[in-house]
Amino acid sequence: MNQVPVIDRKKCTLCGKCVAICPKEVLYIENKEVKLNDNECMLCSHCYDVCKFNAVSFDDTLKNVKFSTFKYKEKIIDSKEVSPAQLVNIFRSRRSVRRFKEEEISDDIVRDLVEFAVTAPSGSNCQEWEFTVINGREKVWEFATRIRDFFVKINKLAANPLIRYLSVPFMGRALLNYYRDHYETVKMAIEESEKGRDLLFHGATCVIIIHSPMDGSTPVEDGTYAAYNICMLAHYMNLGTCLIGFAVEALNRSPEIKEELDIFGTSRIHAVIALGKPAVKFHKHSLRMDYSVEFC
Protein backbone atom coordinates (compact mmCIF):
# COMPACT_ATOMS: atom_id res chain seq x y z
CA MET A 1 0.00 0.00 0.00
CA ASN A 2 1.37 3.38 -1.00
CA GLN A 3 1.96 5.76 1.91
CA VAL A 4 0.68 9.24 1.20
CA PRO A 5 0.38 12.59 2.97
CA VAL A 6 -2.78 13.34 4.96
CA ILE A 7 -4.49 16.67 4.27
CA ASP A 8 -6.44 18.40 7.03
CA ARG A 9 -9.25 20.06 5.06
CA LYS A 10 -10.10 22.40 7.93
CA LYS A 11 -6.59 23.85 8.05
CA CYS A 12 -5.89 23.86 4.31
CA THR A 13 -6.07 27.32 2.68
CA LEU A 14 -5.73 25.97 -0.89
CA CYS A 15 -2.59 28.05 -1.40
CA GLY A 16 -1.30 25.30 -3.72
CA LYS A 17 2.29 25.34 -2.43
CA CYS A 18 2.19 21.64 -1.57
CA VAL A 19 0.93 20.81 -5.06
CA ALA A 20 3.58 22.93 -6.76
CA ILE A 21 6.51 21.41 -4.85
CA CYS A 22 5.55 17.73 -5.03
CA PRO A 23 8.26 16.01 -7.19
CA LYS A 24 6.00 13.03 -7.95
CA GLU A 25 2.88 15.12 -8.62
CA VAL A 26 0.93 13.14 -6.04
CA LEU A 27 -1.17 16.16 -5.05
CA TYR A 28 -3.62 18.18 -7.09
CA ILE A 29 -6.49 20.61 -6.45
CA GLU A 30 -10.00 19.76 -7.57
CA ASN A 31 -13.37 21.12 -6.45
CA LYS A 32 -11.65 23.38 -3.92
CA GLU A 33 -9.85 20.47 -2.24
CA VAL A 34 -6.29 19.17 -2.24
CA LYS A 35 -6.54 15.57 -3.41
CA LEU A 36 -4.17 12.66 -3.97
CA ASN A 37 -3.82 10.51 -7.04
CA ASP A 38 -2.31 7.04 -7.40
CA ASN A 39 1.26 8.22 -8.07
CA GLU A 40 3.79 6.75 -5.66
CA CYS A 41 4.76 9.20 -2.91
CA MET A 42 8.53 9.31 -2.30
CA LEU A 43 8.00 10.54 1.28
CA CYS A 44 10.25 13.57 0.83
CA SER A 45 7.85 15.58 3.09
CA HIS A 46 8.35 18.74 1.04
CA CYS A 47 4.58 19.30 1.07
CA TYR A 48 4.74 19.24 4.88
CA ASP A 49 7.76 21.54 4.88
CA VAL A 50 6.13 24.35 2.87
CA CYS A 51 2.78 24.34 4.69
CA LYS A 52 2.68 27.14 7.26
CA PHE A 53 -0.72 26.07 8.54
CA ASN A 54 0.10 22.45 9.50
CA ALA A 55 -2.48 21.11 7.09
CA VAL A 56 -0.20 18.31 5.89
CA SER A 57 0.90 15.32 7.97
CA PHE A 58 2.16 11.77 7.48
CA ASP A 59 0.66 10.14 10.59
CA ASP A 60 3.19 7.56 11.85
CA THR A 61 4.89 7.07 8.49
CA LEU A 62 7.47 9.80 9.08
CA LYS A 63 8.82 11.25 12.31
CA ASN A 64 10.78 14.29 13.34
CA VAL A 65 14.25 13.98 14.83
CA LYS A 66 14.74 13.88 18.60
CA PHE A 67 17.92 14.08 20.68
CA SER A 68 18.47 12.97 24.24
CA THR A 69 21.94 14.28 25.13
CA PHE A 70 21.45 17.95 24.26
CA LYS A 71 18.60 20.42 24.01
CA TYR A 72 17.25 20.93 20.53
CA LYS A 73 14.54 23.26 19.26
CA GLU A 74 13.68 23.08 15.59
CA LYS A 75 14.34 26.30 13.70
CA ILE A 76 14.94 27.23 10.08
CA ILE A 77 18.17 29.24 9.97
CA ASP A 78 17.81 31.99 7.40
CA SER A 79 20.78 32.75 5.17
CA LYS A 80 20.89 36.23 6.71
CA GLU A 81 21.62 34.75 10.16
CA VAL A 82 24.85 33.00 9.18
CA SER A 83 27.41 34.68 6.94
CA PRO A 84 29.38 32.70 4.33
CA ALA A 85 32.53 33.34 6.37
CA GLN A 86 30.94 31.91 9.53
CA LEU A 87 29.79 28.81 7.68
CA VAL A 88 33.25 28.24 6.22
CA ASN A 89 34.78 28.47 9.70
CA ILE A 90 32.16 26.10 11.12
CA PHE A 91 33.07 23.45 8.57
CA ARG A 92 36.82 24.07 8.64
CA SER A 93 36.89 23.77 12.42
CA ARG A 94 36.02 20.08 12.16
CA ARG A 95 39.20 18.05 11.87
CA SER A 96 40.15 14.42 11.44
CA VAL A 97 41.41 13.25 14.83
CA ARG A 98 44.08 10.56 15.10
CA ARG A 99 44.77 10.70 18.83
CA PHE A 100 42.02 9.72 21.24
CA LYS A 101 41.64 9.56 25.00
CA GLU A 102 40.60 6.32 26.69
CA GLU A 103 37.29 7.84 27.81
CA GLU A 104 34.25 5.85 26.70
CA ILE A 105 31.33 7.28 24.69
CA SER A 106 27.78 6.59 25.89
CA ASP A 107 25.31 4.74 23.68
CA ASP A 108 22.93 7.71 23.98
CA ILE A 109 25.50 10.02 22.39
CA VAL A 110 26.02 7.57 19.54
CA ARG A 111 22.25 7.32 19.02
CA ASP A 112 22.04 11.12 18.77
CA LEU A 113 24.83 11.13 16.18
CA VAL A 114 23.00 8.53 14.11
CA GLU A 115 19.74 10.46 14.55
CA PHE A 116 21.43 13.44 12.91
CA ALA A 117 23.08 11.24 10.27
CA VAL A 118 19.69 10.27 8.82
CA THR A 119 18.74 13.91 8.24
CA ALA A 120 21.27 13.93 5.38
CA PRO A 121 20.03 14.10 1.79
CA SER A 122 19.65 10.85 -0.12
CA GLY A 123 19.06 10.11 -3.79
CA SER A 124 15.33 9.75 -4.56
CA ASN A 125 14.88 9.98 -0.79
CA CYS A 126 15.68 6.26 -0.50
CA GLN A 127 17.21 6.57 3.00
CA GLU A 128 18.41 2.97 2.87
CA TRP A 129 21.46 3.53 5.07
CA GLU A 130 22.10 1.22 8.01
CA PHE A 131 24.43 1.67 10.98
CA THR A 132 26.49 -0.82 12.95
CA VAL A 133 28.10 0.44 16.16
CA ILE A 134 31.08 -1.09 17.93
CA ASN A 135 31.23 0.72 21.27
CA GLY A 136 33.90 0.14 23.90
CA ARG A 137 37.66 0.20 23.60
CA GLU A 138 38.04 -3.55 24.03
CA LYS A 139 35.51 -4.26 21.28
CA VAL A 140 37.16 -1.73 18.96
CA TRP A 141 40.56 -3.32 19.55
CA GLU A 142 39.18 -6.78 18.78
CA PHE A 143 37.67 -5.40 15.57
CA ALA A 144 41.01 -3.80 14.67
CA THR A 145 42.79 -7.15 15.07
CA ARG A 146 40.29 -8.82 12.73
CA ILE A 147 41.06 -6.20 10.10
CA ARG A 148 44.78 -6.63 10.81
CA ASP A 149 44.48 -10.35 10.11
CA PHE A 150 42.83 -9.54 6.77
CA PHE A 151 45.72 -7.30 5.74
CA VAL A 152 48.28 -9.85 6.91
CA LYS A 153 46.92 -12.11 4.16
CA ILE A 154 46.89 -9.31 1.58
CA ASN A 155 50.45 -8.27 2.39
CA LYS A 156 51.62 -11.86 2.16
CA LEU A 157 50.24 -12.05 -1.37
CA ALA A 158 51.57 -8.63 -2.35
CA ALA A 159 55.06 -9.45 -1.06
CA ASN A 160 55.39 -12.24 -3.61
CA PRO A 161 56.51 -10.68 -6.95
CA LEU A 162 55.35 -13.72 -8.94
CA ILE A 163 51.80 -13.48 -7.52
CA ARG A 164 51.77 -9.72 -8.10
CA TYR A 165 52.44 -10.07 -11.81
CA LEU A 166 50.37 -13.21 -12.33
CA SER A 167 47.39 -11.37 -10.83
CA VAL A 168 47.36 -8.75 -13.61
CA PRO A 169 45.15 -10.71 -16.07
CA PHE A 170 42.55 -11.24 -13.32
CA MET A 171 42.80 -8.10 -11.16
CA GLY A 172 44.48 -5.59 -13.46
CA ARG A 173 47.17 -3.62 -11.63
CA ALA A 174 45.30 -3.65 -8.30
CA LEU A 175 47.84 -5.79 -6.42
CA LEU A 176 50.79 -4.04 -8.06
CA ASN A 177 49.40 -0.65 -7.07
CA TYR A 178 48.66 -1.88 -3.56
CA TYR A 179 52.24 -3.04 -3.17
CA ARG A 180 53.56 0.27 -4.45
CA ASP A 181 51.26 2.55 -2.44
CA HIS A 182 50.31 0.69 0.73
CA TYR A 183 52.45 -2.36 1.42
CA GLU A 184 55.08 -0.69 3.63
CA THR A 185 52.53 1.40 5.55
CA VAL A 186 50.34 -1.63 6.22
CA LYS A 187 53.37 -3.71 7.18
CA MET A 188 54.33 -1.15 9.80
CA ALA A 189 50.74 -0.97 11.12
CA ILE A 190 50.63 -4.77 11.40
CA GLU A 191 53.89 -4.83 13.34
CA GLU A 192 52.69 -2.09 15.69
CA SER A 193 49.35 -3.86 16.16
CA GLU A 194 51.16 -7.01 17.23
CA LYS A 195 52.82 -4.88 19.91
CA GLY A 196 49.41 -3.65 21.10
CA ARG A 197 49.41 -0.27 19.34
CA ASP A 198 46.33 0.70 17.32
CA LEU A 199 47.35 2.58 14.19
CA LEU A 200 44.06 1.75 12.46
CA PHE A 201 41.53 3.40 14.78
CA HIS A 202 44.10 5.52 16.65
CA GLY A 203 42.86 4.43 20.07
CA ALA A 204 39.22 5.42 19.44
CA THR A 205 36.70 3.95 21.86
CA CYS A 206 33.85 3.67 19.35
CA VAL A 207 33.44 2.81 15.67
CA ILE A 208 30.38 3.55 13.53
CA ILE A 209 29.97 1.60 10.28
CA ILE A 210 27.62 2.95 7.61
CA HIS A 211 26.39 0.49 5.01
CA SER A 212 23.43 -0.22 2.74
CA PRO A 213 22.21 -2.38 -0.12
CA MET A 214 23.28 -1.15 -3.54
CA ASP A 215 19.81 -1.03 -5.06
CA GLY A 216 19.09 2.56 -4.06
CA SER A 217 19.43 5.60 -6.30
CA THR A 218 22.80 6.88 -5.02
CA PRO A 219 23.75 4.59 -2.11
CA VAL A 220 27.46 5.49 -1.95
CA GLU A 221 26.77 9.22 -1.90
CA ASP A 222 23.97 8.74 0.65
CA GLY A 223 26.32 6.91 3.00
CA THR A 224 28.99 9.57 2.60
CA TYR A 225 26.54 12.38 3.39
CA ALA A 226 25.35 10.52 6.50
CA ALA A 227 28.95 9.96 7.61
CA TYR A 228 29.81 13.63 7.27
CA ASN A 229 26.75 14.61 9.29
CA ILE A 230 28.08 12.43 12.10
CA CYS A 231 31.54 13.96 11.83
CA MET A 232 30.21 17.52 11.92
CA LEU A 233 27.87 17.04 14.88
CA ALA A 234 30.49 15.05 16.79
CA HIS A 235 32.91 17.98 16.56
CA TYR A 236 30.40 20.32 18.18
CA MET A 237 29.71 17.73 20.88
CA ASN A 238 33.42 17.92 21.80
CA LEU A 239 34.16 14.60 20.16
CA GLY A 240 36.66 13.65 17.48
CA THR A 241 36.18 11.54 14.35
CA CYS A 242 38.26 10.08 11.57
CA LEU A 243 37.12 8.24 8.44
CA ILE A 244 39.05 4.96 8.16
CA GLY A 245 39.43 3.95 4.52
CA PHE A 246 41.45 0.80 5.21
CA ALA A 247 38.58 -0.55 7.32
CA VAL A 248 36.12 0.14 4.50
CA GLU A 249 38.27 -1.82 2.05
CA ALA A 250 38.74 -4.73 4.44
CA LEU A 251 35.03 -5.05 5.18
CA ASN A 252 34.00 -4.84 1.54
CA ARG A 253 36.50 -7.56 0.64
CA SER A 254 35.91 -9.84 3.64
CA PRO A 255 32.49 -11.55 3.81
CA GLU A 256 33.60 -13.26 7.01
CA ILE A 257 34.06 -10.03 8.96
CA LYS A 258 30.79 -8.61 7.61
CA GLU A 259 28.99 -11.77 8.70
CA GLU A 260 30.46 -11.49 12.19
CA LEU A 261 28.98 -7.98 12.38
CA ASP A 262 25.58 -9.17 11.07
CA ILE A 263 25.95 -6.99 7.98
CA PHE A 264 23.99 -8.44 5.07
CA GLY A 265 26.31 -10.02 2.54
CA THR A 266 25.33 -7.89 -0.46
CA SER A 267 25.44 -4.63 1.50
CA ARG A 268 28.33 -2.31 0.72
CA ILE A 269 30.29 -0.49 3.41
CA HIS A 270 30.35 3.23 2.64
CA ALA A 271 32.16 4.63 5.67
CA VAL A 272 33.84 3.52 8.88
CA ILE A 273 34.16 6.28 11.47
CA ALA A 274 36.52 6.19 14.44
CA LEU A 275 34.89 8.14 17.29
CA GLY A 276 36.14 9.25 20.68
CA LYS A 277 37.30 12.04 22.95
CA PRO A 278 40.12 13.88 21.17
CA ALA A 279 43.52 13.91 22.85
CA VAL A 280 44.73 16.83 20.74
CA LYS A 281 43.67 20.45 20.31
CA PHE A 282 44.06 22.31 17.02
CA HIS A 283 44.79 26.04 16.96
CA LYS A 284 44.74 26.64 13.20
CA HIS A 285 42.83 25.47 10.15
CA SER A 286 44.44 22.90 7.85
CA LEU A 287 46.30 24.01 4.76
CA ARG A 288 45.24 22.67 1.38
CA MET A 289 47.03 21.61 -1.79
CA ASP A 290 46.47 23.50 -5.01
CA TYR A 291 43.72 22.17 -7.25
CA SER A 292 42.43 22.43 -10.80
CA VAL A 293 39.05 23.78 -11.87
CA GLU A 294 37.71 24.34 -15.37
CA PHE A 295 34.57 26.15 -16.47
CA CYS A 296 33.08 24.78 -19.69
Domain coordinates of the chain in residue numbers? 6-57, 70-281
Looking at residue 153, what is its pLDDT? Answer: 94
CA distances from 142 to 7, 154, 242, 272 (A): 52, 19, 18, 15
Looking at residue 201, what is its pLDDT? Answer: 97
CATH number of 6-57: 3.30.70.20
Looking at residue 46, what is its pLDDT? Answer: 96
Instruction: Give me the CATH topology for the region 70-281.
Output: NADH Oxidase (3.40.109)
Say what percent of the chain tops pLDDT 90: 94
Looking at residue 207, what is its pLDDT? Answer: 98
The pTM of the full predicted model, rounded to 2 decimals, is 0.92
Looking at residue 294, what is its pLDDT? Answer: 97
Looking at residue 90, what is its pLDDT? Answer: 97
Start-to-end C-alpha separation, the chain: 46
Residues of the chain with pLDDT under 70: 1-3
Q: What are the helix (H) ranges across the chain?
A: 17-21, 46-50, 84-92, 107-117, 137-158, 161-166, 168-171, 174-181, 183-194, 219-235, 245-253, 255-260
